[in-house]
Each structure stands twice: as C-alpha cells, then as structure tokens.
Amino acid sequence: MDAVELGLFAGRIGAVCDEMGAVLRRAAFSPNIRDRLDFSCAVFDAEGELAAQAAHIPVHLGSMAYAMRDLVGRMGWAPGDQVVVNDPFLGGTHLPDVTLIAPVFAEGRLVAFVASRAHHANIGADAPGSMPLSRTLEEEGVILPPAHLWRGREREAAPWEAIVAATGGGPEVEGDFAAQASANRAGMARLEALVAELGVEGLARSLAALQDYGERMSRASLADLPAGQYAFTDYLDDDGAGQVDLPVRVALDITAEGVAVDFAGTAGQTPGNVNCPLAVAAAAVFYAFRCLMPAGTPACAGAFRPIRLTAPEGCLVNARRPAAVAAGNVETSSRVVDAVLGALAQAIPGRIPAASQGTMNNVAMGGVGKEAGSGWHYYETVGGGMGAGRDGGGLSGIHSHMTNTLNTPVEALEMAYPLRVAAYRLRGGSGGAGARRGGDGLERSYELLAPARITLLTERRRHAPWGLAGGADGAPGENRLNDTPLPGKTTFTAKAGDRLTIATPGGGGWGRPAGINEEP
C-alpha cells in the first residue's frame, strides 16, 4: 500500500471504533456508561491482534491488546456469535469491566473481531457498586470465563442467567448489555462493508500493512531514546488490608532492538485488592510508551512489538489467582505509569512531565437494607491535577493517564440516585509549585439523601505526586465523612444527611521556581 492508501485505511478502520463507541454511549442505560463514558471499543484482526481502537480508556484497550490473541484462540466462532468475559486472569481487567467480543465473517471466512468493554456498576459483589474492599476475586462479583452469550444472534441461557442471578437483572443491566451487543453489531456491519470493497485478501493485506507501519513508527520513536538502563521505584500507599508502602519498581533496558521492561523488585501480591494481572500492567506500560510516539502512529499491536515485558509471577503486577484485583486495575495501573515515566525521566528529562494525581479516586455506594434508595448502585472516579512539564503547567480537575472518563454530571447523578452534590470545585493550591505549576485537584462533596453503604479505593493519600527538575510535589488527597478524616481505602455505612468529601491530589510541579537557587 502506498502512504495515501494506508492513511485512508487507518482512518476508516479507526472510524469503525468511533462509531461503535457512539452507539454504545447512546444506547446504554446506566449513568456510568452513558454519562461518564466508562467504556472502550476496538477492532482486532483474525488472529486477535489489535488493529484499531477509539480514543477511549487506556487500561481497557491495552489489556485487550495484550490478552486478546490467546482469548480468541480458546473459542469456536460462527457468524452472529458474541462471547462475554470478565475474568481478569483470562483476558479481563477487573470484574466490573465486562467485554463482549464478536467475530466478523466474509465469504465464509473469519476476517476480524470487534470488541466492546464497559464498566458495569453492579456485577454482583456484596458491596454496592461492585468495588469492595475485597481479599479474594470471588468477593468482587460474578466471574465470567469466556463463554458465548449469543450464538447466531440467539442469547444463551446459562451465562445470562448467571449475570441475572448475581445482579438481579432489571432494565439497567439488560439495557447496558444490549448496548454493548449493538455496538459490536454496528462494528461488524461497517467491517463487512469494508470487506465488500477491499475483498477478504485486500483486508488482510491492509491490516498487515497497518501493523508493520505501526511497528516502524514505534521503532523510529524509540530510536530517539538514549540506550542504557534506567530504574525507578514508586509506592502504593497501602492495600486496604494492613500492608503499607508497597514498592512498584520498573527497570528499563533500552537498546537498538527495543525496550525491555522488568518489574523485578516490585512487592509481592498482597491480601488486599491492589493486585493486578500482567495484562493490566502491560496496558500501563504500552500507554506510557505510546505517549512518546507521534500522533499519527496507528493504535495497533504492531506499535508495541518492540516493547518486551517481564514480571515475577506472584508479584503485585503479575498476581496469581484467586488474588483480589478490584483496585489493581484502577490504582496499581496508575502507579505503573508513574514508575515507567519516572524511569523515562532519567533518559529524556525534558520530555517527561511530573507525576499526575496517580489515582482514580474510586467512589462506590448504594442502598442498604429496605431503606429508601436500596437497590441502587453508584460508581465513579474523580479527576485531579495533572503533572506539569517543561513546556507548560498541568491541567486542573481532569482525569489523566489510565482513565479517560468523565466525572458524572451533577444533573445526571442527582436524577438517578438519592444523592445531592453539595460542593464541586477546584482544590486551589493543591498543584505543586515550580517554574511550571502542577494542576489542581478537585473537591467533590456528596450529601446522602438516604442511608448508603460506601466503599472508597483511593491512592496518593500518603505518597504525594512527585515533582520534577526541582518542582514541588502535588498535595496528597484527602477523604472525609462530615469532618472526620477517612483512610484511603475503607468501607462503611453512612446515614441520610451525612456528607462525603473527596479532595483529590494535585499534580507535581516542574522546574525550580524563579528566585530559588540550587543549594551548594
């Protein structure tokens, strides 16, 4: 393919993912998917290699890129099929992230796959919001190994009954799964139209050319990194089960052949739920290096071929079943990004920003007993400050790195749940000082209109987001119930009239502030 043909093909297959995302958003019932945009869509080739993705959520898409090839090889496929999976150790991330995968056939041949992954606030955990302070995977909800949810457009009873038994079913659960299936069908239709134009062999050649182009772009970008070995250690505050100051160590070995990323020295898997499967760690690594590549680099598996990943089995980022992983997907993935960027800052200090907030500030809650409001499940992540860089200050009040969602709009939240947003503002002065100042975090206060069971899974409450090049650290986050401080990871019951406040971390500053000289 010449450059023009390849560029047009890349744009067209990327547009398939964008349209899938638009269908999913418009058809979903839950505020978490419809309003907060906690979903991702992608296209894969016939072998399960990532071919294109929309600009959705890095932790969703990178983990799919890492695990999809093995996953699709497990199943038999026929037209109209859709396979459901959320098992973190078989290609998922954590149980609320449920993936639907559909094959695309043309001329009787399997030519591609489409996939949609969405976060379901109710996936059957005992704790509302299905983000419990768990110690085993089984406590986090219903586990869905790869299974056909649809065969030839007919829904299979067994997996659906397992979902309904765990969640209670209802219009929201039914509607969100139907939205994912519809998104996949939209993607299938667009790819079938593309095959009708290019032919089966033409599509295969185009996909192969796209993967090779992604690899060339990636290698050209990595060639700008100085060869050498660079290491950085960052820390998780705790695991919610008594373990504190958990190291996440990354060593980069940059050579002409590519980059080897090694997690030796990282803490072992813990009793709490900050563990993650290797696919989640891979997503964070791929994301960090993808940020170094030119904007036109295809979002495909070829771009990740020069990056090799190793982690000791049984460590925090390569946990063994049945480790709890609810927070690993959201919190540990964020720390992996910080550690990789910290190592890269030694290699290319002018190109790497200071640490962003480094947490997704997970808030999950729902009704208790037979009180008013029981049966509801609310979940969201809350934005914070981005790290500053050499060329500009950090953005304030925004999701960064491994999440690419929104805060739930106040109007949508108050319409759907017995909650009132009593305050929602920037946390002034929380960004780290520097020649370029870190972005400020947010302060978001929820007034409960009914009793609720609440779980918080938050980080950067002990270890602040670090500054770079002499810039100051960002302010750590804070959690409060009324005027009482709360731990970073906790679960409790609150009564109507209580106010929960989440004050999110600011980003680190970059560069020594003007007028401050180096110490002798």
pLDDT digits (tens, 9 = 90+) for 465-489: 999 999 999 999 999 999 999 999 9
pLDDT digits (tens, 9 = 90+) for 423-450: 999 999 999 999 999 999 999 999 999 9
Domain range list for the chain = 3-216, 353-520
pLDDT digits (tens, 9 = 90+) for 332-390: 999 999 999 999 999 999 999 999 999 999 999 999 865 544 689 999 999 999 999 99
In angstroms, rounded to a whole number, what is the distance separating the alpha carbons of residues 430 and 246? Answer: 24
pLDDT computed for residue 518 by the predictor: 47
Report residue 196's pLDDT band, with 50, 70 and 90 as the boundaries.
Answer: very high
In angstroms, rounded to a whole number, what is the distance separating the alpha carbons of residues 496 and 417? Answer: 13
pLDDT computed for residue 515 by the predictor: 62
Cα separations in angstroms, 481 against 77, 136, 307, 420: 50, 27, 44, 15
Of the chain, the percentage scoring pLDDT greater than 90 comes to 88
CB 230 within 8 A of CB 252: yes
CB 448 within 8 A of CB 418: yes
Report residue 57's pLDDT band, with 50, 70 and 90 as the boundaries.
Answer: low
Q: Is 103 helix (H, G, I), strand (E, B) or coil?
A: strand
pLDDT computed for residue 56 by the predictor: 66
pLDDT computed for residue 468 by the predictor: 98
pLDDT at 520 over 50: no
Report residue 55's pLDDT band, with 50, 70 and 90 as the boundaries.
Answer: confident
Q: Which has the closest alpha carbon to 23: 118, 146, 152?
A: 118
Of the chain, the percentage scoring pLDDT greater than 70 comes to 96
pLDDT computed for residue 430 by the predictor: 98
Q: Is 3 helix (H, G, I), strand (E, B) or coil?
A: helix
Q: Is 458 helix (H, G, I), strand (E, B) or coil?
A: coil
Say which range, 122-136, 245-259, 372-386, has the weakest mean pLDDT. Answer: 372-386
Region for residue 99 given its phi and psi (left: phi exceeds 0; alpha: psi -120 to 50; beta: otherwise): beta
pLDDT digits (tens, 9 = 90+) for 134-182: 999 999 999 999 999 999 989 999 999 999 999 999 999 999 999 999 9
The mean per-residue pLDDT over the stretch 278-285 comes to 93
Calculated CA dihedral for residues 211, 60, 137, 100, nearest 10 degrees: -80
pLDDT digits (tens, 9 = 90+) for 36-46: 999 999 999 99
